[in-house]
Amino acid sequence: MACRDFADDDGRYWVVWDVYPTLAERRQKNAGAPLGMRERRRFRERRAHPRSSKTTKGWLAFEAADGERRRLVPIPELPEGWAKATPDQLRAWCAMANPSPAPPVSP
């Protein structure tokens, strides 16, 4: 997983990384735990499927220092990979990305 950081046009600090949803694939197939891992689910139940087939191929996750999160689907294709993008490209992708919900808070 590649990870980059940059500042947007307003000077806000962002971190961006790629996400590949292997757990989403498990849910689609209702498969068991990945090889070498213990199954944590106690019951077999219907699981949510990714909203679009685009998300199954991954996305870029953006998180600002103040906690704002965004998601860009699909991962933009560059000859050398998205991690070699220029800071200007990262800023443009961040501006295009959709708001993403905050991660769940543990009790």
Is residue 41 domain-resident?
A: no
- Which backbone phi and psi does 5 adopt, to 5 degrees? -135, 155
Is residue 71 domain-resident?
A: yes
Indicate whether 85 pLDDT > 80. Answer: yes
pLDDT of residue 68: 94
Between the two ends of the chain, the Cα-to-Cα distance in Å is 28
CB–CB of 43/58 below 8 Å? no
Tell me which amino acid residue 104 is: P
Structural domain boundaries, residue 88: 3-28+47-99
In this prediction the pTM is 0.70
Is residue 59 domain-resident?
A: yes
pLDDT of residue 33: 52
pLDDT, one tens digit per residue, over 39-82 is 655 555 555 555 556 677 789 999 999 999 999 999 999 999 99
Domain total for the chain? Answer: 1
